[in-house]
Amino acid sequence: MAVAHPTFRYIERDGTRVLEASGTWTVFSIRPLRRRRARASAPASQPKPGVIDVTRVERLDTAGILELLDLAGGGEGVELRAKDKAQADLFGVVRANEVATPPEPAVNWLTRWLGEIGHSLVDLYRQIVALCAFFGETLVVLAGAFLQPKRFRPSAIVQQMYEVWIKALAIVAVLCFLIGVVIAYQGVQQLRQFGAETFTVEAVGISIFRELGVLLTAIIVAGRSGSAFTAQLGTMQVNQEIDAMRTIGLNPIEWLVLPRIFALVISMPLLVFWGDLAGLLGGAVACTIYLDFTFVQFFARLRDTVGIWSFYTGLIKAPVFGMIIAAVGCFEGLQVRGSAESVGLLTTRSVVESIFSVIVLDAIFSIIFLLAGV
């Protein structure tokens, strides 16, 4: 579309200053004009015109009128000469709705920086308070459920277990198997330098049992089930389903949160056991390839050298991690407010927070086991 450039000039007519515009004054055509005006650094201080004459303007829209009024130094006390009623009406609309846009408040970078820190601290504080409230409510509901066991909702728990346990079996097995292979391979490479490559069996057994089996499983579960909890509850929050539950007299903690927490607390040890098996299998396969071990030799050595407590320490952590992942996932889901955008935001946050808490807890467990001497 060929566009005639917007042009303007100031003329004297009958003793008044007139801003005479011509060409096309639309949102698509005023860009070059604005560039020219921006380049002319110090705008020549023109006396304010008394009249804006747009009779020679071919096309005019609201953006063009805003620009003309800006050129004229504001719309007050300025008369208009328009070609027709449509132009005059358009001017009327713009003038009636013109608001003084306040300039962006200039904020000192230090002030803004301090302000942001303050905001995030207050947010953190609120988050902690809300988390405590959530845990408190969950415990109260849990206590109530122990008094009235039928409130445990076994069917919901079983359904959730299908999602978080059965459906996760394949991925947990594959990943743990591969990690077992990798550790065995690295162990053989490093220990061979001391002629101690048979200790690879201990390396694989202890690392899988104590740390990797349970950590890897927890990270997978946080990624696929924790995020799903947040997304499910968040979507229900957006659709006002949770509000609807409250009005019917159903407690969302009892109906939505407790089954999920129970499902994960039960499923995590089962998944960890399964992951341990797969990891050991991976280690055994790698040892048969790199060390000329047979499966029987591998597992016999494992039985003789790796104590049963290595296995227990890993398994003790599993339900705790499961509880933390489920609780964080459900908590963030219930934090969703307003739009679908916040579902995505909080899902991300839920995964990050649950993995973070799992690793912090793992460190605490290490200290406890060290002090307990197991």
What are the backbone angles phi and psi of residue 370, rounded to the nearest 5°?
-65, -45
Of the candidate spans 16-24, 88-96, 148-156, 256-264, the one that interacts with other proteins by CB under 8 A turns out to be: 88-96
- Number of chain positions touching other proteins (CB under 8 A): 30
Residue 58 C-beta: closest distance to other proteins, Å: 14
Burial class (CB in 10 A: 0-12, 13-18, 19+), 183: buried
73 touches other proteins by CB under 8 A: no
Beta bridge partners of 18: 11, 51
Of the candidate spans 66-74, 155-163, 301-309, 315-323, the one that interacts with other proteins by CB under 8 A turns out to be: 66-74
Residue 108 C-beta: closest distance to other proteins, Å: 20
**Could you tell me how far CA 84 lies from the centroid of its own chain?**
55
241 touches other proteins by CB under 8 A: no
Burial class (CB in 10 A: 0-12, 13-18, 19+), 259: buried
3-state secondary structure of 81: strand
Q: How many Å apart are CA 78 and CA 193, to the nearest integer?
A: 92
Residue 343 C-beta: closest distance to other proteins, Å: 11
Complex with other proteins: residue 5 or 13, whichever CB lies closer: 5
Contact indicator for 82, 55 with CB cutoff of 8 Å: yes
Complex with other proteins: residue 30 or 175, whichever CB lies closer: 30
3-state secondary structure of 251: coil
Contact indicator for 329, 260 with CB cutoff of 8 Å: yes
Q: What is the DSSP letter of 99?
A: -
Residue 190 C-beta: closest distance to other proteins, Å: 49
Q: How many Å apart are CA 278 and CA 285, to the nearest integer?
A: 10
220 touches other proteins by CB under 8 A: no
40 touches other proteins by CB under 8 A: no
Q: How many Å apart are CA 276 and CA 216, to the nearest integer?
A: 10
Residue 252 C-beta: closest distance to other proteins, Å: 21
3-state secondary structure of 261: helix
Complex with other proteins: residue 26 or 335, whichever CB lies closer: 26
Sole binder of other proteins in the list 7, 50, 58, 90 (CB under 8 A): 90
Of the candidate spans 90-98, 123-131, 136-144, 151-159, the one that interacts with other proteins by CB under 8 A turns out to be: 90-98
| Cβ neighbours for 301, distance < 8 A, ≥ 6 positions apart | 198, 201, 202
**Could you tell me how far CA 143 lies from the centroid of its own chain?**
32
Sole binder of other proteins in the list 16, 46, 55, 89 (CB under 8 A): 89
Contact indicator for 50, 77 with CB cutoff of 8 Å: yes
Give the helix, strand, coil percentages of the chain, each rounded to 5. Answer: 75, 10, 20
Sole binder of other proteins in the list 9, 12, 38, 195 (CB under 8 A): 38
Sole binder of other proteins in the list 41, 45, 97, 148 (CB under 8 A): 97
Instruction: Write the single-letter amino acid at 158.
Output: V
70 touches other proteins by CB under 8 A: yes
In the shown chain, the binding pattern of residues 176 to 215 toward other proteins, with x for contact by CB under 8 A and - for none, equals: ----------------------------------------
281 touches other proteins by CB under 8 A: no
Q: How many Å apart are CA 332 and CA 106, to the nearest integer?
A: 35
112 touches other proteins by CB under 8 A: no
Sole binder of other proteins in the list 9, 41, 45, 101 (CB under 8 A): 101
Residue 3 C-beta: closest distance to other proteins, Å: 11
31 touches other proteins by CB under 8 A: yes
- What is the contact surface with other proteins in residues (CB under 8 A)? 1, 26-28, 30-31, 34, 38, 61-63, 66-67, 70, 86, 89-90, 92-94, 97-99, 101, 337-342
